[in-house]
Structures are given as C-alpha cells and as structure tokens.
A = this chain, B = another copy of it.
Amino acid sequence: MNIIKLSKNEITNINKLYQAKYRKETNLFIALGPHLNNEAKKYGHLVKTYTIDPSYSGILISYDDMKKIAKTDTPCQVLSICQKIEKNDLSDKVLLLDAIQDPGNMGTLMRTAKAFNFNTIILGDGCVDIYNDKVIRASQGAIFKLNFRQENLVDFINNNKNYIFYGTALENGYNIKEINKAPKLALILGNEGNGIKKEILNITNKNIYIPISDTESLNVAIAGGILMYLLQ
C-alpha cells in the first residue's frame, strides 16, 4: 500500500471539523482511535478512514500528516470522518440535559446512558455540541448508538405527558430512596454551576436528590450515573 500525501486543502478541511460551525455545515465529525473507527463502521457512521498503520483499511498517510489532522497528545493510529445520523425514536427511558457544558461530562453521561438503557437524549438549550472531539472521546462509542434530539426542554415536557419527569435538585426534593421506577420515565440533569432552570423544575412530576455528607454537590455525571442506575 502506498502512502498518500494529503493536500494542504484537505488538511485544512479536516481541521475545520474541530469547530462546531463546520460540523453543522457538513454534517460530519471526527472520531479518533481504532475503537471508535470500529464502532463508526458498525453503526453506519463511517465516511472515511485515515491511518498510519497499513493493517487498518483506509487511506494510508504519513505520520507527519497524521500529526497535522489528529488533535491528540499521543500519536493517533486512526482518524475517522463520520457522518451524523438523525434518529427520532423515543426510548422508554429518556435523559434530558439542561445546559451541560463540560465536554467530559457530556461524553461520560452518554456512555452511562447507553449502559443503563437511557437510549434517547434530549439536548436542551446551552448544551455543548455533542460532536465535539472531547465529547466523542469520553462517549467511548455511545455517540453512535443513542438517539439525540435538540429541543427546548419545557416544550418537550409539555408535549410528552405519558412520561414521568424526574428533576434533580439539592433542595425541596424527594430522597432518591423514596422514588419508584415508572415504565416511561425521563431524568433531567442540569448545568454544572447552576443546576436545572427553575421554569423546568416547576413542571416536573417530582424532583429528587441524592443524600450526601459534608459536600456541596456531586459532579453531574456522577449524580446522573447513580440515578440512571437506580431508575433503569
């Protein structure tokens, strides 16, 4: 197999995909590493593979070119260009995210949601772009398996009265131990600094909290992990 030299133009276009604006324009995003390449292929998202290792199928490029397109500390073997795929199904367990801004939290919440069958995520206003490369990395492939919708959370709650909506709040809520599962339920998690917006907390079925000792709050991905485990 011959090494293909990438044109300056091609390198520029790939690098543009690290910006949300261009991902939106092209409907494409980047996933790094062999694991995500396999997952992208398996779930029909894979458009193109660049690799420095001839044992992977894809466009063989030089180490120098890979360094120009792969945003990682350690050398990356495989870079995948993936397409976004819209899926509109609504699973029985749904996760609603209100302005989750940290890419690591977002990706970790996706990975956990998949593990506990919260297969649909509703992205409210102010969330980080889920196709951000740090989100993709933390999601560990869950990005390819879940359904996502970008939707105002107040509208979503008002339009889906067949679901039980659980908000999360530090005060004035029910202890998670007192909560029963419901066949169709939605868990709402809020912004890292400010929690869930009041207008949303006001229209949930119940707001719940996790009892904690001598700590102001849990990290939102940890709280989400415990709650999804208990409510799955």
Residues of A within 8 A of B (CB): 104, 108, 111-112, 114-117, 138, 140-142, 145, 210, 212-219, 221-223, 225-226, 229
Contact = CB atoms under 8 A, between A and B. Distances in A.
A108 B222 contact: yes
Number of copies: 2
A142 to B, nearest CB: 7
B114 A213 contact: yes
A138 B145 CA distance: 29
Nearest to A112: B222
Given A210-B229, A222-B222, A229-B210, A215 B104 contact: no
Contacts of A114: 213-215
Given A229-B210, A229-B226, A218 B115 contact: yes
A26 B145 CA distance: 49
